[in-house]
Chains A and B, each alone.
Chain A
Amino acid sequence: MSRSRRLLAALLACTALCGGAVLATGSLQSASAARAFGNDPFTDVVDAAARTDRSCSISNNGLAALVMAVTWEETGAGTGPPSPMTLSRYDTASGLYFESNPNSTYRRAFWHAGVGMWQFDSAGLGAPRYAAHFISTAGGAPAAASAMADRYCAAIDGGFTGALARAAAWRPWNACNDGTCESIFAEIYNGQTGQLRNISGTSAVGSRGGMVSRVCGRGGSTQVFAPCFYVDPALAQGQDWWAAPNAGRSPITFPFYVFESGGYEYRVWLREDTGFPFDVEATRPLGQNARTSLTWHRSTALCAKVSAAQTFCDVSPNHPFFDEIEWVAGEGIASGYANGDFQPLAAVSRQAMAAFLFRLSGSPQSPAPPTTPSFRDVSRSHAFYREVEWLVRRGVTTGYADDTFRPLNQVTREATAAFLFRLAGSPNMPPPPAAGSTFPDVPRTHPFWRAIEWLVDEGIASGYANGTFRPGTAVSRQAMAAFLRRYDTNL
């Protein structure tokens, strides 16, 4: 059966067997007493139970109930939906802290040893795999089902039955130590009918519980991209009490990326998520306890992308100028740096501006650049000689009075206005505003007043919230991308 068909079947089963149906069949349980569980995690558990080999007689639903019963206790979810992303907050072993130092300034680069709805821990059943495998209920449910089936059947073989055999199956999950899991089992499973019951499904909790799929590359310009996952406690689905800063003995981690490669689990905290002055990477050999096996590094060359289609490591689809930056990249107007970054906040130099405008105009082959340079600081061997000379011939720039172009100087907002205005052919202006000027810091006497008014009128740029234009402010690469995109679109 395909996943989608199984999901439908599971949802129908839940409709028929869980909270609502309980009332229909006269159960004493009320709908409000039902235990919540994510629809997709529910499907994963049911799937895992159906696929798990076992050497004794236990029904698929019985095994599914066995698997689910521990999750509310292990995650402290009460009767709410257990969070697949749950990160343990109990353990404060020094090895789990950045550089094994609990007093570190960077202590929120913290390695949570127990992960997921079944709290797989690297000291135990979680040792052979990485966090994302167990956060995903598609990975955690089969592992839990397999371990519980083995132990349940071993107990049955040893002469134990019923509650004793179930207690044996749950022994690796210490939260069941007080017998609560047996009560939950009886609550969610009808041993007489063999049906699951009293479980209310919710679509608000997915299989990954808010963990986000990403594509990560390492190794600078020679990066090989592979799947990775972004774990941000703030995005946790289900009961997320554990994500609160004061919810446990250990710190709650800052968002991190997790992936496995070549037998190692990697967790990476990027400075953009932590505010630290460096990126942090921790590595665990699979099979070993994180408390005594982590290796910490202060920097990394991780490039995390939402998808392979994302061009730059540091410009995700959430970036306010994502579309504009992707557009300038796609049009070949701007490219990134060797490490895969675009550096959107970096300033634009005049030589880069020349290149951008040249490419925006289609990288024209004519007129050919002159044999005699127009500027004494942009020689024929200059990397942007062709582009700067093209700018001169189009009348976009004249340089400075001392015959220099000053190619490395930062481009200001007023200069950008002038460049684009001239590139557009210095068009005639509409009537000026009644006040004479749109911006108090760009009066009519300003040398670039006309160009700035035109820029705003064409919708290429706008002013700041306080009504100013700040003409002398340097232009960032992200702002330039936006200007160029609007220029292309609006003109």
Chain B
Amino acid sequence: VLGGVATAVAVLGVGTALVLGGGAGSGETDLPALPPVAEREPETYGADGCSEVGEDLPADCGTTAGELDAVLAGPPGDAFRTLEGFSGPRWTTELQRDRLVVLDDTVREAAQGTWSASGLVRNETSQPQGDVLVQARLLDAAGAELAVVEGDVPVSPVRSGEPAPFVLDADDPAVAAADVASVEWTVLGEPVEEGEASAARALELTTYWTEPAAARTPPISVADHEDPPTGPGPHLVFGSVAGLEGADVEGPRVVAAWIGQDGRLLHEVQADVVAVGGAEALDHLGDGDLGDFVLVLDAPDTDELASAELVLWAVGS
């Protein structure tokens, strides 16, 4: 099935690029790196880029501010990156396919019951893409169409080189996973102005703590989440989003995905960004503003999550 997926992506991807009006051809894209850490934390770094730890202690030059910036942005390839409005792997600087694509090695399909699939798409065009839609054409063993399932990508805009999660369920009409022999993928999007995309994603993500699903005493009440008074609480991740220079974000949200050790998407959840100390969703996040989020994942596999890689997107419009 996966071989079929890869082939279908390759074929349909060309059509997708045409639908989008065509890209500028394969090439490279710049990373939306966070502002230099020496600018974000001027009190921490000296002019030589070494961190100052107390007036009478020697500066720590093991990693300079510039080196930290470089490692946060990540090396070439699919390595983990910490960028404006994003932290995680699979962001590429090399636009090899000039279209929106499904990253087939991230796709997890249901093996039984109703067909469903989750995974990552990636924008390999040179422009940000908004309103990204993933379509899966489900085929049986004879090649006959069982259904076309589609779903929105919760990250918008998806910047050039950026991955984004999707989840599809073939529940209306229901299609049994056992009946699906192959899938043809199509990813559609609408080009977005670069400036608009930058303003909507000029956000810095920070996670603070993770609480595995368990009964907790006392129950946790944080942001817009409250644990049930009895019984196990869900898997929680608490963090914040800060507006960077140029940020102008309406309805800020955080999208999260967990990538399992096999590289495939395990879970995807979304959370509003709420006022620090409160539970009300923020309408707007601008330069210098701070908001909190709590990711709530019900009944996950604790062991699987413990070794899963968390990918975060801070989004808005």
Contact = CB atoms under 8 A, between A and B. Distances in A.
A165 B306 CA distance: 32
B44 A124 contact: no
A44 B55 CA distance: 10
Given A155-B276, A285-B71, A138 B54 contact: yes
A348 to B, nearest CB: 38
Contacts of A177: 218, 220, 222
Interface stretch (A269-277, A289-297, A427-435, A462-470): A289-297
Interface stretch (B57-65, B95-103, B168-176): B57-65
A261 B80 CA distance: 18
Nearest to B61: A226
Interface string B64-81: 000110111000000010
Nearest to A263: B71
A174 B62 CA distance: 30
A259 interface: yes
B277 A164 contact: yes
Nearest to B87: A287
B72 A128 contact: yes
Of residues B62, B71, B289, which shows the largest number of chain A Cβ atoms within 10 Å of its Cβ? B62
Contacts of B57: 138
B306 A158 contact: no
A174 B211 CA distance: 9
Contacts of B251: none
Interface residues of B, number: 46
Interface stretch (B8-16, B141-149, B202-210): B202-210
B239 interface: yes
B55 A287 contact: no
Interface string B29-68: 0000000010001011000000101111110111100011
Contacts of A130: 62-63
A167 interface: yes
B308 interface: yes
B187 to A, nearest CB: 27
Given A128-B68, A288-B80, A3 B54 contact: yes
Contacts of B240: 151, 172
A227 interface: yes
B26 interface: no
A154 interface: yes
A461 B189 CA distance: 85
Interface residues of A, number: 58
A139 B289 CA distance: 25
A53 B43 contact: yes
A171 interface: yes
A165 B238 contact: no
A330 B226 CA distance: 67
A103 interface: no
Nearest to A177: B220
A106 interface: no
A172 B37 contact: no
B277 A262 contact: no
B307 A291 contact: yes
A133 B37 CA distance: 16
Nearest to B210: A123
B276 A226 contact: no
A125 interface: yes
A121 interface: yes
B67 A262 contact: yes
Nearest to A3: B56
B275 A158 contact: yes
A292 B80 CA distance: 10
B290 interface: yes
Contacts of B218: 177-178
A341 interface: no
Contact of A263 (B63, B239, B307): B63
Nearest to B242: A150
A263 B67 contact: yes
A93 B306 contact: yes
Of residues A92, A172, A227, which shows the largest number of chain B Cβ atoms within 10 Å of its Cβ? A172
B131 interface: no
Given A172-B209, A263-B71, A287-B68, A133 B278 contact: no
Given A124-B206, A171-B208, A292-B308, A51 B53 contact: no
A477 B292 CA distance: 62
B54 A133 contact: no
B306 A291 contact: yes
Given A142-B43, A171-B292, A264 B58 contact: no
A260 B51 CA distance: 12
A4 B56 CA distance: 9
A117 to B, nearest CB: 15
A206 interface: no
B62 A261 contact: yes
Interface string B219-236: 010100000000000000
Contacts of B70: 263
Contacts of B72: 128, 286-287
A213 to B, nearest CB: 10
B82 interface: yes
A168 B240 CA distance: 11
A160 interface: yes
B309 interface: yes
A133 B308 contact: no
Given A124-B239, A136-B53, A155-B277, A95 B307 contact: yes
A473 interface: no
A44 B37 CA distance: 22
B206 A142 contact: no
Given A172-B208, A260-B62, A287-B71, A167 B277 contact: yes
A262 B307 contact: no
A286 B68 contact: yes
B236 to A, nearest CB: 9
Interface string B296-312: 00000000001111100
A160 B275 CA distance: 10
Nearest to B54: A138
A99 to B, nearest CB: 13
Contacts of B71: 262-264, 285-287
Interface of A: 2-4, 44, 47, 51-53, 92-95, 100, 121, 123-125, 128-130, 133, 136, 138-139, 142, 146, 150-151, 154-155, 158, 160, 164-165, 167-168, 171-172, 174, 177-178, 207, 226-227, 259-264, 285-289, 291-293
Given A172-B240, A259-B62, 16 more contacts: A2-B56, A3-B56, A124-B207, A129-B51, A138-B54, A151-B240, A151-B276, A154-B275, A158-B278, A167-B277, A171-B276, A172-B208, A174-B209, A285-B71, A287-B80, A289-B309
Please provide the 7 A-B residue pairs with the shortest distance between their CB atoms, ordered closest to farther: A263-B71, A168-B277, A155-B277, A172-B208, A260-B62, A138-B54, A154-B276
19 contacts: A51-B43, A125-B206, A133-B53, A138-B53, A139-B60, A142-B44, A154-B277, A160-B277, A164-B277, A167-B277, A168-B276, A172-B208, A174-B208, A259-B62, A260-B63, A263-B70, A286-B72, A287-B68, A287-B82
